[in-house]
Amino acid sequence: MEKLYVIKIGGNIIDDEAKLSSFLQSFALIDGKKILVHGGGKLATRVAEAMGISQQMIDGRRITDAETLKVVTMVYAGFINKNIVAKLQANGCNTIGLTGADGNLITAHKRSHATIDYGFVGDVDAVNDELISQLLQKNINLVVAPVTHDSKGSLLNTNADTIAQEIAKAMSRGHEVSLIYCFEKRGVLLNAEDEDSAIAEINPAYFSTLKEKEIISAGMIPKLDNAFAALQSGVQHILIGHADDLSQLINNQAGTAITNE
């Protein structure tokens, strides 16, 4: 099967113009078909505050009311997405930027929770892998913003890690998929204060131990939950590491590998 890289880039890199430019240069050099999924929450928060729209976060998740939905759509699907596309074009990487609504790429439903109203936050129902395959076959790479739709006319703010996972799962039916989460750390760290403490490999048993001993942070647990779910759904390779190390991550020479064994 043909190789496909699904790479998620975290907001801390997107907020730094120099780091983002360096990362995108490395992304453009990847040989083969590739999809980039991005976040950008800090910029969305700054824009919302500048517009006088108060922001509420619960367990790191943004409560997305109607006004906040307008902001995240403008920031994610607008400035950040097209800025990334323009920089990749400048690096000779032909790219199209999409949201879940474009081409019916990703459908989702409004999140239901017993005690919390998340507003216009979506949980993914389906990924249009046929459309993705058609674009990739035309040698067009994808940059996907974390905005989906519900097929009823509403946009939904959707977690970028989850979007990357769901795209990787859908595409694994016809490709050998590597899912790579890039952020500002060298991998999953044994000691959050020590960049040299990255764990080389985590399997389900070790993951349970890390959680029981509270060695990994609460913010990392959903990312690892997503990673193991992707492995169980056919994604072949999953790595978590620093955006600066993208070329090494592609070759499994850096970061933390997530395995089933």
Domains, the chain, with CATH or none: 2-258 (3.40.1160.10)
| Mean pLDDT by groups of 10 residues along the chain of 261 residues | 94 88 96 94 85 80 88 95 97 98 98 87 97 97 98 96 95 96 91 88 94 83 87 94 94 93 78
Of residues 36, 22, 156, the one with CA closest to residue 85: 36
Q: What is residue 60's predicted lDDT score, i.e. its pLDDT? A: 67
Long-range contacts of 105-113 (CB under 8 A, 24+ apart): 105/131, 105/132, 105/144, 106/144, 106/148, 106/149, 106/158, 106/163, 106/166, 106/167, 107/148, 107/149, 107/150, 107/151, 108/148, 108/149, 108/150, 108/156, 108/158, 109/150, 109/156, 110/150, 110/154, 110/156
Q: What's the pLDDT at 1?
A: 86
Beginning with the edge strand found earlier in the chain, give each strand of the sheet holding 147-149 in spatial order: 122-127, 106-110, 147-149, 155-157
Q: Report yes or no on whether pTM surpasses 0.85.
A: yes
Q: Where are the alpha helices (DSSP H) in 213-245?
A: 220-232
pLDDT at 241: 94
Tell me which amino acid residue 240 is: I
In this predicted structure, what is the pLDDT of residue 21? 95
